[in-house]
Structure 1
Amino acid sequence: MTHLTLASASASRAALLTGAGLVFDKIPADLDEDALKDDALARALSPKAVALELARAKAIHVSLRHPGLVLGGDQVLQLEQDLISKSPDRAAARRLLQRMSGKTHYLHAAQALAENGAIVWSNVETADMTVRTLSDVAIDAYLDAAGDKILSSVGAYQLEGLGVNLFDSIRGDYFTVLGLPLLPLLAQLRHMKVIQ
C-alpha cells in the first residue's frame, strides 16, 4: 500500500483525513508561504492559481525528502480583488469582519499530490461565502464568544463553530470551506488504488 504524508500543519485537514479513515503521517512543509504568495501575485496569478501554487509547492517540498505520496493543501480567501491573510490580532479581525459584512467572498481550496518531487494530481475548488450584514455590536459579541482561536483562521471564522452564525448563504462544498476538498481527493486516491 502506498504511504501517504500530509504536508500541512493544519489540524482541520488532518481531522478530515482521519475522519475519512485514511492513515497518514503529518510533516508540515517548512516554506516561506508569504514569499511564495508574493511571488505568485507578482506574476499576476489568479487567486485560484495562487492557492494551487502554494499546495503544489508544499507537496513537492515534502516529497523530495520523504518517500510515498505527499498531499499538500492550501486555501486563500478572496474578498473583492484582495487576497486576505490571517488577522494578527482582534482589532484586525474586527476590521476584516466589518469589511466582509453584507458581501460575498470566495474561499479557494487547493490540493496537490506529489511523488518523488513531481506533481501527480492537483485540483482547486471554490466556495462562495455570503456574510450577513453585521452591526458593530454583533461583531464584538462574536469576537468575545469565539476568542483568540479565530486568529488561526483566514477570515476570522471557523465554519464548524460559532463562525457559522456570520453567514446568510454558502455555495460550495463543506470540505472546501474547511480547506480540503475531500470528495475529489478520495476519488483520486481510489483511482490510484491508494484506498479501496
Structure 2
Amino acid sequence: MCASVLRTPLTDALARRFRVVLASGSPRRKELVDRLGIEYEIIPSAFAEDLDKAQFATPRDYVLENATQKARDVYQRIKGGSARPLFVIGSDTVVVDASGAILEKPASRGDAAATLKSLSGKANTVHTGVCLIVDAAAAGQPLLSQAVESTEVVFGELDDDLVDAYVATGEPMDKAGSYAYQGMACFFVKEIRGDYYNVVGFPCARFHQMLLALHQQGAI
C-alpha cells in the first residue's frame, strides 16, 4: 500500500461494508488503487479476452465488454464462498490508432516495433473500460456500474534507432499499444489530451466519480 493515501468517509464505508476485489494482476492498476488506502484483494480474471472485435460498433464498446467480462468472471468464481458482500473492479485498456484499429499487447518484439512505427508522428487514443459489480442488498441482484475513459496521446517522429532501442528494453511487451507513457515512452510522447492516469491503465478520477454515483444510489 502507498505511504500516502487518500482516505475519505466514502472509501472507509466501501472497505467496511464490502469485500473489495481487483480483478486484475496489473501492477499499474494496483499502484493506483492503493492510493485510496482501502483493503482489497487481487484475484486476476481468467477471462480469455477472445472477443471478436468485429462484433462491436466501436472500440469503446469492445473495451467495456472486456472489462465487464473480467469482473463477471471473478464475481462468479468467488461469490459462493464469500461471507461479505462483494465489490469487484474489472478494467481493460486498449489503444486505437488513427485509422480506428485496436492495438492491444504485442505478440512479439517485431510486432511491437511495427506498432510503434505505425504510431510515429500521429495521435492515438487510449480507451479504458471500468466495470464495478456491487452486491447491493436493496437491489436483490448485483449492480453493474460501467464507464469508459478516453485519452488522446500524440507521438513525435520515431526513427528506427529509437524504436529498436525502446523495444530492446522489453518495456513494450506487456503494454497495450506497445508503449508505456509512465515509462521510457515519455521521451517520444509529445502531448496528452485527457486523463494521464487513464493512459497508465486506470482512470482514477472516473473511478471516484463512479463511487460517488453508487453512494448517491445508496449502494455504498
TM-score by length of 2: 0.79
What is the deviation of 1:190?
A: 4.1
**Distance in 2 between residues matched to 1:92 and 1:43, nearest whole Å:** 24
Deviations 1:88-127 (A, max 9, x none): 2222111111111011111101101013574421110101
**Distance in 2 between residues matched to 1:19 and 1:123, nearest whole Å:** 20
Q: One-letter code of the match for 2:194?
A: G
Give the gaps of 5 or more residues in structure 2: 1-16, 80-85, 136-140
Q: Pick from 52, 58, 64 the counterpart of residue 52 of structure 1.
A: 64
Output the aligned Cα RMSD.
2.0
Tell me the residue number matched to 2:94.
76
What does 1:12-23 align with in structure 2 at a 5 Å threshold? 12-23=28-39
Tell me the residue number matched to 2:119.
100
Tell me the residue number matched to 2:42.
26
**Distance in 1 between residues matched to 2:185 and 2:38, nearest whole Å:** 27
- Pick closer, same or farther for the CA change 1:52–1:58 going to 2, 3 Å: same
**Distance in 1 between residues matched to 2:105 and 2:210, nearest whole Å:** 30
**Distance in 1 between residues matched to 2:196 and 2:144, nearest whole Å:** 25
**Distance in 2 between residues matched to 1:171 and 1:84, nearest whole Å:** 19
Greater CA radius of gyration, 1 or 2?
A: 2
What does 1:1-196 align with in structure 2 at a 5 Å threshold? 1-33=17-49, 35-36=50-51, 38=52, 41-67=53-79, 68-79=86-97, 80-115=99-134, 118-144=142-168, 147-193=169-215
**Distance in 1 between residues matched to 2:213 and 2:104, nearest whole Å:** 34
Q: One-letter code of the match for 2:198?
A: T
CA contact (8 A) 1:108 1:124 kept: yes
Give the fraction of aligned pairs with identical amino acids, expressed as a percent.
28
What is the deviation of 1:60?
A: 1.5
Q: One-letter code of the match for 2:78?
A: H
Of 73-82 and 116-125, more deviation after overlay is shown by 116-125
What is the deviation of 1:143?
A: 2.7
Deviations 1:9-44 (A, max 9, x none): 2111111101232321111111110x22x1xx2323
- Pick closer, same or farther for the CA change 1:188–1:129 going to 2, 3 Å: same
CA contact (8 A) 2:149 2:206 kept: no
**Distance in 1 between residues matched to 2:77 and 2:134, nearest whole Å:** 10
**Distance in 2 between residues matched to 1:7 and 1:162, nearest whole Å:** 27
Q: Secondary structure at the match of 1:88?
A: coil
